[in-house]
Amino acid sequence: MIEKSGQQMKEITKQLEEGIRQLYDSDKYATWLDVMSKFHSYSFRNCMLIAMQKPDATHVAGFKKWQSLERHVMKGEKGIRIIAPSPFKIKTECMQKDSDGNTVLDAQGNAVYSEVEINIPSYKVITVFDISQTKGKPLPEITSMLADNDKDYGTLIEAACSYSSVPVNIIEINNGSNGFFDRNTNSIGIKSGMSESQTFKTIIHETAHSLLHAEDDDKSRNQKEVEAESVAYAVCRHFGIDASDYSFGYIAGWSRNDDLKEFRSSLELIQKTADGIITGIEEKQKVLDKGIENERAVLYPDTDEPENIIKM
C-alpha cells in the first residue's frame, strides 16, 4: 500500500511539473487563473491539478463528503486527483530538559529519557469530484453564487479600499495609466472617471503591488506587472468581473520567460495574495452589509472589527 501511494505521488508530481511548463501557453495560464479564482484557498499545486484535469470545475469534494451532503457521484465519473496532507504520529525517546534547558540526570549521572509523541508531516494523493459529477440535494449557497450576476460594484470598491493597508485615493491622472502605487508616500492613486468594474480591478492591481512590491528586489518590472495583474484578474473573476480582455495583454508576455523556478515562485505568490485579498474583501463586505453606523469602523483597516467572522 505504501509503495502504491509513493508511486501515485511520483506520477502526480511529474504531471504537476509538466503542467507548470505548459502554463507558458497563455490559454492554459488563463484556465489556471480561472480555477484559482474559484478555489482561492487551495494551494497553487492543487489549483493546477484541478485545472489540468477538469478546468470547468466549480466545487469539489470527496466521495463521502458528497454523500454527507445528500448527493452521490454519478456512475462512470472520473475523479480528480489532488494532494492532501496526511500527517501521522510516532513515539520516540526524547532527552528530558529542565526549565533552564539543561539535561536532566538521574542519580547515576545518566541522561533521563521519556517517551514522547511527535507529528510527522506527510502527503497522499486523494480523489475528489466536482459538483457537476454528482446528483442529489441542491446546495443553495453554490446555486446562488453562480446565478448572482448583479454585482454591487460600489460596495466592492468600498470593501477593496477598506481592505487595503495603504490609503486609496481617486484622483485625476493624465499620463495614460489607470493607477499607481507610490512607495515613497505609501499610497495608491486611482484614475477618476473610469467604469466601476475597471476602478475595482485597478484598485486590486495596485493593492497587489503594495503587498508584493513595496520593497526593492531583483524582480523585473515585467514580472511585477504580471504578478499584480494576475492577482487582479483572479480576484475580479471570483467576484464575477471578467477582466480577461484587459488582463491578458499583460499576461501573454509572461510566456516568453524561460525560468521555470521563477515562474513557479510567482504562481505561489499570486495564489496566496489573491486568497488573502478575496478573503479580506469578503469580510469587509460582511461588515458593510451589516450597516454599521460608525463609518470609520468600516472604512479604515486598523479599526477593530467583530470577531469570529466566518469564511464561506
Q: 242 by DSSP, 3-state: which? A: coil
How far is 210 from 165, CA to CA, in rounded Å? 8
Give the separation between CA 146 and CA 199, rounded to whole angstroms. 23
Whole-angstrom distance, CA of residue 94 vs CA of residue 109: 17
Q: Could you give the 3-state DSSP secondary structure of residue 28?
A: helix
pLDDT tens, N- to C-terminus, the chain (312 residues): 445 556 766 776 676 666 666 665 657 777 888 888 888 888 888 888 998 899 999 889 899 989 988 999 999 999 999 988 888 888 888 888 888 888 888 888 888 888 888 888 878 889 999 999 999 998 755 433 333 344 568 889 999 999 999 999 999 998 878 999 999 999 999 999 998 888 999 999 999 999 999 887 788 877 888 889 889 988 988 888 887 766 765 565 554 555 556 667 788 888 899 999 999 999 998 888 776 434 444 344 443 333 322 222
DSSP label at residue 111: B
Q: What is the pTM of this model?
A: 0.64
In the chain, what is the straight-line distance between the N-terminal and C-terminal CA atoms, in Å? 36
Q: Are 258 and 281 in contact (CB under 8 A)?
A: no
Cβ atoms of 111 and 95 within 8 Å: the answer is yes
